[in-house]
Structure 1
């Protein structure tokens, strides 16, 4: 009888007509879906209803990716909406609903693909503007990471393999143990008693992550450094071994679970940054496993602050999750009351490596983080092209701040898109990376003097030509990209050092060697507690000499790489890999974007913190990017009065 009823339900399900969205009635209206109870495999049934946010409806908000882990984002799954209609959703959305569905009670959710009429551009744009309110008003946000890994491990061997003998000494049983804090530790979801039972390695990792962070919090409460936790040390040891050792036997269950989780597609989405930053509480959902999102943030931050060699080595092992967690840290800083407008640009910059199916979402996904961002950029408008959106943003930021700091994010590669070279094209990664928190004041603290043409193509700005690039020998261009391999980077270093030592004197009167090493690191270094040190301390000169000897003395790149890694030279950690050194007509060293060409001008523009590379092109200039010129970064070459400045027309 049950099979017959199920067959009848499926038949009705397939014969339903498509759901027709009714327009929302109020500016603060949203739709909420009521997920009806059911078993895992039974058809999904929902009801949709309109609510006003001012009425404070109770719901949970879902954060997820439309696409499955293999990239399928087609609307190929159907669910029943009401008694007679159906909705088409992606397979990943359907999976999330199945795992979130209760068997005996209803659940109220907000899911963007279902609760927003995706075919109505006006509604979509309006709801995007409400996104922060939607996620912040929900008591919790549920992050659907996907189903658990099919790679299985055995809980008992996981406990033995994952913990060092010292951490097992205080064990009170096969499934519990005491950590260095003295507190009892056990998996949050105890595995089966059968030692041969298996669970997913993703669950193994998430269970252990909870234990690690709980132990670190306990240790920190006693006034000790949380990284003293033996469980934390064991975790980074296993990640380090799996990350650096290619042998299959080095890939423990714990490491494999870590890799599985940090490579999930969810971490790559630009929108989820706003979703988690706005939330009161965030829960990661992987099949039936639930883990507090703050565990991940705490682990990532601990590894950043941990100055140990192992922690430094495994930072990149966070893979695609790295970009997300870095952007989230920047977003929290940017939403502080004391944050400067430049913090908004930093979030946009950090989100450049994240994915958005619509290029405009690289901006729209960040705008909703804070009300104060609304004064820096126009409201979301999906009827505009990416070039219109990004140019409007640049114009608005320039007008609001009277600062050229947004130009620091632009590169000459934009011009190939038919896009103004002075307006950052946010979907593209920057050509040059540098620390924008360093207090450079190449144009002193002047305000920008500018006009923008009616067609938004030309930026006219006042400034002065300081110098011209005359020599710029380069290694292979790949040596200066973020993706460059070690051998490519080394060759780039060598070429830049040869450029520096080709000078016999320096205009500031400093020794050439000092001008060289300060140019290589943009005269900046991080302190041991991640405080910013500018200008770079004199003692870095000794580290430079050791670094330079290793760089130039080795006969092969292989020897150089091994020696570099063994030495862990402090100077090596400070070099800007993305800015080759060139020389100028007046004998200065300039760290420039690799897209710079001989003959390009170095200009000091009112309202700019750094010098800028401009390329003469007919009756205007093309904007190439920012640069570092040693000896003029504190306003030494910029006039005290602005009367004698000239106009530059940049397109």
Structure 2
């Protein structure tokens, strides 16, 4: 099944119609997910939260069946949970309470990791309670959202699994109190070019020149913002304080959340895949110029044929008659050699940049690049704005974007901040945060 899905997906990517291609891709994803569920069930390695994550892009005529259909596949919830007298909103709230209170065993190391599944659109009005995770993907949300906890699960020795979580009655059923800290503020945001969101299932080589130029302009714009953050504005590779590496290394590691596509919890050893990704974009953008150069060479070679034949007309009868045939033959050989070399070079770059490209495309869905007031760079939800806060909850490795509302905060979504993803949240002084 795995080979079937991968090979069929490769064929699907060649479909020109965007809507047909996207629909076919999601259907293949469904087949792959169903097969993975079967394998996990056979090994008794499946829980409710993992099931919800694997099937969150599925759909149902009655949205409540999105959850009820899974009850028979897991031992975390009994049959009494299936109650069609409840509204979908009440069902989601009850399910989240079960997850947060620990009545459903967390798939990873912390019950609060479920909050990493929250996804919001760019212009979403955040309704209360903001901590309720809707297992349906948003109706207008494109792409496959990857929770940061998937690459940074809370587990020892990084984090003690003792979150301080309360549902105080005086605040009503819509609020909860979580021990945590708000330690920074978003100072700059740079949304990714739209074409990346729309073409994430396609190889970079299929983007047109306008799209590639948009991404190049985005890189230049972000580099200009980063220039103001460097400790030495005369040195492009000045130190990124949280990790002690260059700003360039911190930047490309941020774009892929410092993870590899082959081993999800491993960090990349070097930036060769990222540099191959950039080189591939440059070559694709310059490809029309290369085509013009090739045509110019072929034109000169073809045009020189009658000239050389005329030159040898009375000197060498063999060259006089052979050259008109030899020059076009040379042109054909040159064209074939050029095309083979060009394809070989592109194939080499495509293979080398695949690791970075896969991670980058996976992590950037639903997120935007950001810089905080303390100089941290990272990825925050597309719904986050300049002035929003970022903070940690007790027991979590993943920071969250929060927005002040009255005496408390509303939860926007998970974030990646380079240099503070390995338990640094435990170093901050904490307080009980009111999440509305």
TM over 0.5: yes
Residues 1:590 and 2:378 are matched in the alignment = yes
Choose the corresponding residue for 1:520, options 219, 237, 255. Answer: 255
Once the 2 structures are TM-superposed, how far is the Cα of residue 506 of structure 1 from its aligned partner? 1.1
Residues 1:433 and 2:146 are matched in the alignment = yes
Aligned equivalents of 1:367 and 1:631: distance in 2?
39
| Residue pairs, 1:30-179, within 5 angstroms | none
Aligned equivalents of 2:160 and 2:46: distance in 1?
15
After superposing the two structures, state which structure 1 stretch, 569-578 or 351-360, moved more.
569-578
| Residue pairs, 1:356-435, within 5 angstroms | 356-374=60-78, 379-400=81-102, 401=105, 403-413=111-121, 416=125, 418=127, 420-429=129-138, 432-434=145-147
1:240 to 1:594, Cα distance in 2 relative to 1, 3 A? closer
Matching residue of 1:542: 272
Matching residue of 1:465: 182
Aligned equivalents of 2:289 and 2:136: distance in 1?
38
Once the 2 structures are TM-superposed, how far is the Cα of residue 417 of structure 1 from its aligned partner? 7.6
Once the 2 structures are TM-superposed, how far is the Cα of residue 594 of structure 1 from its aligned partner? 1.3
Other structure's SS at 2:398 match = coil
Whether contact under 8 Å (1:591, 1:629) holds in the other structure is: yes
Once the 2 structures are TM-superposed, how far is the Cα of residue 621 of structure 1 from its aligned partner? 1.1
Provide the TM-score with structure 1 as the length reference: 0.46
Other structure's SS at 1:471 match = strand
1:328 to 1:629, Cα distance in 2 relative to 1, 3 A? same
Deviation readout 1:529-567 (Å, 9 max, x if unpaired):
xx43512223xx12212322443676579999x997773
1:412 to 1:458, Cα distance in 2 relative to 1, 3 A? farther
Residues 1:445 and 2:175 are matched in the alignment = no
Aligned equivalents of 2:266 and 2:218: distance in 1?
25
Other structure's SS at 2:244 match = coil
- Gapped regions of structure 2 (runs ≥ 5): 231-238, 291-342
Aligned equivalents of 1:340 and 1:477: distance in 2?
36
Whether contact under 8 Å (2:148, 2:398) holds in the other structure is: no
Residues 1:573 and 2:358 are matched in the alignment = yes
Once the 2 structures are TM-superposed, how far is the Cα of residue 337 of structure 1 from its aligned partner? 5.9
Once the 2 structures are TM-superposed, how far is the Cα of residue 423 of structure 1 from its aligned partner? 0.9
Aligned equivalents of 2:216 and 2:160: distance in 1?
33
Deviation readout 1:291-337 (Å, 9 max, x if unpaired):
xxxxxxxxxxxxxxxxxxxxxxx9x7853432322331442355366
1:565 to 1:456, Cα distance in 2 relative to 1, 3 A? farther
| Residue pairs, 1:304-319, within 5 angstroms | 318-319=24-25
Whether contact under 8 Å (2:258, 2:267) holds in the other structure is: yes
Other structure's SS at 1:526 match = coil
1:492 to 1:650, Cα distance in 2 relative to 1, 3 A? farther
Once the 2 structures are TM-superposed, how far is the Cα of residue 646 of structure 1 from its aligned partner? 1.1
Other structure's SS at 1:244 match = coil
Work out which structure has the larger RCO, using CA pairs closer than 8 Å and 6 or more positions apart in sequence.
2
Matching residue of 1:626: 414
| Residue pairs, 1:160-239, within 5 angstroms | none
Once the 2 structures are TM-superposed, how far is the Cα of residue 593 of structure 1 from its aligned partner? 1.4
Matching residue of 1:138: none
Aligned equivalents of 2:375 and 2:37: distance in 1?
41
Deviation readout 1:232-289 (Å, 9 max, x if unpaired):
8xx959x866862769xxxxxxxxxxxxxxx9xxxxxxxxxxxxxxxxxxxxxxxxxx
Whether contact under 8 Å (1:601, 1:615) holds in the other structure is: yes
Choose the corresponding residue for 1:613, options 376, 393, 401. Answer: 401
After superposing the two structures, state which structure 1 stretch, 512-521 or 453-462, moved more.
453-462
Once the 2 structures are TM-superposed, how far is the Cα of residue 367 of structure 1 from its aligned partner? 2.2
Matching residue of 2:435: 650
1:473 to 1:381, Cα distance in 2 relative to 1, 3 A? same
1:324 to 1:416, Cα distance in 2 relative to 1, 3 A? same
Aligned equivalents of 1:493 and 1:594: distance in 2?
20
Matching residue of 2:264: 532
Matching residue of 2:218: 495
Matching residue of 2:37: 331
Once the 2 structures are TM-superposed, how far is the Cα of residue 347 of structure 1 from its aligned partner? 2.3
Aligned equivalents of 2:154 and 2:220: distance in 1?
26
1:347 to 1:494, Cα distance in 2 relative to 1, 3 A? farther
Q: Would you say how many aligned residue pairs link Structure 1 and Structure 2?
A: 341
Once the 2 structures are TM-superposed, how far is the Cα of residue 371 of structure 1 from its aligned partner? 1.8
Once the 2 structures are TM-superposed, how far is the Cα of residue 615 of structure 1 from its aligned partner? 0.9
Aligned equivalents of 2:265 and 2:282: distance in 1?
28
Higher helix share: 2
Aligned equivalents of 1:630 and 1:559: distance in 2?
38
Whether contact under 8 Å (2:389, 2:401) holds in the other structure is: yes
Once the 2 structures are TM-superposed, how far is the Cα of residue 637 of structure 1 from its aligned partner? 3.9
Deviation readout 1:465-505 (Å, 9 max, x if unpaired):
13211010224567446878846975457525742553424
Provide the TM-score with structure 2 as the length reference: 0.66
Aligned equivalents of 1:434 and 1:559: distance in 2?
41
1:558 to 1:618, Cα distance in 2 relative to 1, 3 A? farther
